[in-house]
């Protein structure tokens, strides 16, 4: 096949990934746990173009800027190396993530690119191999290959992939508080944290413990334990990031207000827990039956969107190039 299309969704981590022990292989210092969402898909088409001198990349119909295009080319180089091909490609990506939603698009983007490029260059990759490949584009993309709850293992190149986990059912409420672009990318901020935070070693060892506890909560189907660990781990990550030199603060007053509100709702008997990635927006988790009420309570703070567990990265084209959705991972969602 010289042309293939794939679709993938973003994921939100409950136990966060923050820090690489190998920046070229993108090996994390600790494992992480996330939920792949059912909303904000990225659909990517890869067409081999043996006559082209360079790869081209468009995002939502607009030619990509230099840095994203370079990241796409570096990623395709890995695929070409494995496929023994020198053919350049045209990569067209459509992202449903509103650019101002404050959600990272790289996880869905590189998961979709891994599946589409792998197929276009004729590689036979199972979910584990695709997760390892997607990881090389953006660490968190390893998890978007997988449906629903996914654990991404720390380890060497062969062991560092994501796989499905069974756990309690829950829903996420995305609370958009601030639409401005972040000033320090997660990639740069991770490096600065690793080099300058006096708390970095403690972060690595405590994250491994938090992941073990979160996986135990999943096995026990214990939403309360998983929720408490989620909020604790998010606040620890932000404390770590703030301890970099110079400090990096992603949370804004409105984000802190959202964490306070979530705590109040819990005290009033409505169970929910907050987390936040490398930005000011907050994601709240709640039992499915409470999600609408939690979203209503949070609506005074910002725009809310209720999202659930979604599918893993999916190939949309078959050998004949027809659209025929083929699931790569079975849904072990939620
Ligand atoms: O994959 P990256 O480089 O976008 O890093 C993601 C980092 C966090 O979103 C803050 C945490 C996570 O585990 O997704």
| Domain positions in the chain | 3-167+317-323, 171-307
Ligand 1, residue 107: give the atom nearest the CA.
1
pLDDT values of the chain reduced to their tens digit, one per residue, 334 residues: 699 999 999 999 999 999 999 999 999 999 999 999 999 999 999 999 999 999 999 999 999 999 999 999 999 999 999 999 999 999 999 999 876 566 778 999 999 999 999 999 999 999 999 999 999 999 999 999 999 999 999 999 999 999 999 999 999 999 999 887 777 889 999 999 999 999 999 999 999 999 999 999 999 999 999 999 999 999 999 999 999 999 999 999 999 999 999 999 999 999 999 999 999 999 999 999 999 999 999 999 999 999 999 999 999 976 555 444 444 443 333 3
Residue 334: the pLDDT is: 30
Per-residue model confidence (pLDDT) at position 171: 98
pLDDT at 104: 73
Query: What is the dotted CATH code of the domain comprising 3-167+317-323?
Result: 3.30.230.10
Q: What angle do CA 216, 220, 222 make, to 5 degrees?
A: 95
Q: Which of 37, 186, 283 for a ligand 1 pocket mutation test, highest count of atoms within 8 Å of Cβ?
A: 186
Ligand 1 centroid – CA 50 distance (Å): 34
Pocket-testing residue among 11, 68, 97, 104, ligand 1, by greatest number of atoms within 8 A of Cβ: 104
What pLDDT does 183 receive?
78
Ligand 1, atom 8, lies closest to the CA of 277
Beta pairing partners, 307: 172
Instruction: Confirm or reject: Cβ of 138 under 6 Å from ligand 1.
Output: yes
Q: Which residues of 86-120 are buried (b: 16+ CB within 10 A; e: fewer)?
A: ebbbbbbbbbbbeeebbbbbbbbbbbbbbbbbbbb
- Tell which one of 16, 154, 236 to mutate to probe ligand 1, the residue whose CB is within 8 A of the most ligand atoms: 16
DSSP SS3 for 152: strand
64's tokens: 């990509």
Ligand 1 atom closest to the Cα of residue 187 is: 3
Q: Which H or E element spans position 136?
A: helix 127-137
The highest-level CATH class for domain 171-307 is alpha beta
Instruction: Quickly count: other Cβ atoms within 10 Å of residue 158's Cβ.
Output: 8
CB 133 within 8 A of CB 183: no
- 17: Cβ below 6 Å to ligand 1? yes
Distance between CA atoms of residues 314 and 331, nearest Å: 12
Query: Which residue in 5, 90, 93, 82 sits closest to 48, CA to CA?
Result: 90
Is the CB of residue 187 below 6 angstroms from any atom belonging to ligand 1? yes
| Residue 210 near ligand 1, beta carbon < 6 Å | no
State the distance from the centre of ligand 1 to the C-alpha of 9, rounded, in angstroms: 14
Q: How far does the centroid of ligand 1 lie from the alpha carbon of residue 186, in Å?
A: 7
Specify the pLDDT at position 325. 46
Whole-angstrom Cα distance, residue 198 to residue 283?
28
Residue owning the nearest CA to atom 10 of ligand 1: 277
Is the whole model's pTM more than 0.85, yes or no? yes
Q: Kindly report the number of other CB atoms within 10 A of residue 260's CB atom.
A: 12
| Ligand 1 midpoint to CA 28 (Å) | 10
């Amino acid at each position: 096949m010289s042309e293939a299309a794939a679709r993938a969704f973003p994921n939100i981590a409950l136990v966060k990934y923050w820090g690489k022990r190998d920046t070229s292989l993108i090996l994390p210092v600790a494992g992480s746990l996330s939920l792949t969402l059912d909303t904000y898909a990225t659909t990517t088409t890869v067409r081999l173009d043996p006559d082209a001198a360079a790869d081209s990349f468009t995002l939502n119909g607009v030619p990509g800027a230099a840095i994203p295009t370079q990241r796409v080319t570096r990623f395709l180089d890995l695929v070409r190396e494995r496929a023994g091909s020198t053919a350049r490609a045209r990569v067209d990506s459509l992202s449903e993530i509103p650019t101002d939603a404050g959600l990272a698009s790289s996880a869905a983007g590189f998961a979709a690119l891994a599946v589409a490029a792998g197929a276009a260059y004729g590689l036979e990759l199972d979910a584990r191999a695709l997760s390892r490949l997607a990881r090389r584009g953006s660490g968190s993309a390893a998890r978007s290959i997988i449906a629903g709850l996914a654990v991404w293992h720390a380890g060497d190149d062969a062991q560092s992939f994501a796989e499905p986990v069974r756990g309690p059912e829950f829903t996420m409420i995305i609370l958009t508080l601030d639409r401005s672009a972040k000033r320090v990318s997660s990639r740069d901020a991770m490096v600065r944290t690793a080099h300058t935070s006096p708390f970095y070693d403690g972060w690595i060892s405590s994250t491994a413990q938090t992941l073990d506890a979160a996986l135990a909560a999943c096995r026990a189907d214990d939403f309360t334990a998983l929720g408490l660990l989620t909020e604790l781990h998010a606040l620890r990550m932000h404390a770590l990031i703030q301890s970099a030199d110079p400090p990096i603060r992603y949370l804004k007053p409105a984000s802190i207000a959202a964490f306070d509100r979530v705590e109040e709702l819990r005290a009033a008997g409505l169970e929910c827990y907050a987390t936040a990635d490398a930005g000011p927006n907050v994601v709240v988790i709640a039992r499915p039956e409470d999600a609408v009420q939690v979203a209503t309570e949070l609506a005074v703070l910002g725009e809310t969107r209720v999202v659930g567990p979604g599918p893993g990265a999916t190939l949309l084209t078959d050998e004949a190039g027809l659209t025929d959705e083929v699931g790569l991972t079975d849904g072990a969602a939620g």
